[in-house]
Structure 1
């Protein structure tokens, strides 16, 4: 089943259009309180499997310094923290203050020692506040589709990664298979939007179909990574082809 992971693109749909970064930021602040519950409900918990796969592909290891861009409420950040352990350092970075507050609250409620190594930061993915070659691994889950300038976002990630290190990019898959595309759209129209409307968030989620149409195919994501300076890039289709994960090495 398609996940409800939010992604905001340039076109939102007939009744809801996201025109600028500040509107995207406001949207993520609004949906923050119910974001995790909706993801679990609509993906039947499968989004947790996809996120573990994404973190595994990042090749993060014990003692590493790692970054989760567009971290939201922190799922990938917590998983990264578990991989790097108490001797590593994990940064969760997002432009939504409300999402970061939820992530910070979740951190305080968890007892694993490694979670103490997480630092939450608010900021713009197009201007990462870190020196060149700062990180051993970077993840971005359901975020690249949301940024105003994907090329600049990927270039920034490439810049802050150490030579030979990996970025793992998880998001909806923009399939080139017409059948997969039709099924995905039917699920969004008949499952995602109706359920979201029960939480008063129909307008916030109705854009999702056009958001995916405006995203990049696997081949286009690979090309983008190579264009900004990554040495290798490979896109994998997961979740019955409804999701995709780009793995690129600097």
Structure 2
């Protein structure tokens, strides 16, 4: 079963504005921040339930595409509750450094709690930072590798977010961007919408989050195709960009090289 939950992980601006997300009209960064804060307490449970655990496989694939290795300094943008962040720390080890950045304080609280409740030497190298994907609080050429899981689709200014990834990535470094695939195949697109209407929203309703998860369908419709993502990356300055369809085309992973 395809995971139709991650649509909800992001990093945008800081202060919430008047909430319009209750009408499933999530247009500005402040409204999206409110949405992600609200779902944070049940986010991990829904991830596992809606994907039957498959999201863990996709996230490991995303990590492998970064080429991250021991002692590297790496960044996880739109880290949410920290799944990719923890996987990155296992790659770079206790001598490496991992920063997870997100705009949602509640998601960061969950991530920090998970870090404190587990113990592995490599987890000591993790730092969680509140920040905006379109205005990253880091120096130029600071990171050896970058991940972004189910976040780019939710960023208001995707071009600026891509430019920021390019700016903070070291020359030769790779960024791996995992998200839903906006398929150009009618059957796949129709199946995604059917899953949202008949699986995702009903399950989310049990958690009192039906309206929040209805936002997912529109966010996929408004996202970029794999080819468009490759073009966006090249426009941002990346020397190479390849988009891979996974899980039967329901998911996609963009791999870019500075």
TM-score, length of structure 2 as denominator length: 0.94
User: Secondary structure of the residue that 2:233 maps to in structure 1?
Assistant: helix
From 192, 202, 208, the counterpart of 2:216: 208
The 2-side partners of 1:138 and 1:248 are apart by: 10
- Are 1:82 and 2:82 matched, yes or no? no
In the other structure, the counterpart of 2:13 is none
In the other structure, the counterpart of 1:237 is 245
In the other structure, the counterpart of 1:125 is 133
In the other structure, the counterpart of 1:35 is 43
- CA deviation map 1:184-211 (0-9, x unaligned): 1111110001100110000101121111
The 2-side partners of 1:80 and 1:162 are apart by: 17
From 154, 163, 173, the counterpart of 1:155: 163
The 2-side partners of 1:32 and 1:88 are apart by: 28
The 1-side partners of 2:246 and 2:185 are apart by: 14
Residue 13 of structure 1 and its aligned partner are, at CA, apart by 9.2
Residue 19 of structure 1 and its aligned partner are, at CA, apart by 2.7
Residue 16 of structure 1 and its aligned partner are, at CA, apart by 1.4
TM-score, length of structure 1 as denominator length: 0.97
Q: Unaligned regions of 5+ residues in structure 2, if any? A: 11-19
The 2-side partners of 1:7 and 1:157 are apart by: 20
The 1-side partners of 2:144 and 2:175 are apart by: 9
User: Secondary structure of the residue that 1:207 maps to in structure 2?
Assistant: helix
Q: How many residue pairs are counted as aligned between the two chains?
A: 248
In the other structure, the counterpart of 1:2 is 2
The 1-side partners of 2:9 and 2:124 are apart by: 31
Would the aligned equivalents of 2:21 and 2:212 in 1 still touch at CA under 8 Å?
no
Change (3 A) 1:93 1:8: closer
Q: Unaligned regions of 5+ residues in structure 1, if any? A: none
Residue 14 of structure 1 and its aligned partner are, at CA, apart by 9.9
The 2-side partners of 1:14 and 1:177 are apart by: 31
Residue 8 of structure 1 and its aligned partner are, at CA, apart by 8.2
In the other structure, the counterpart of 2:193 is 185
For the aligned residue pairs, the C-alpha RMSD in angstroms reads 1.5
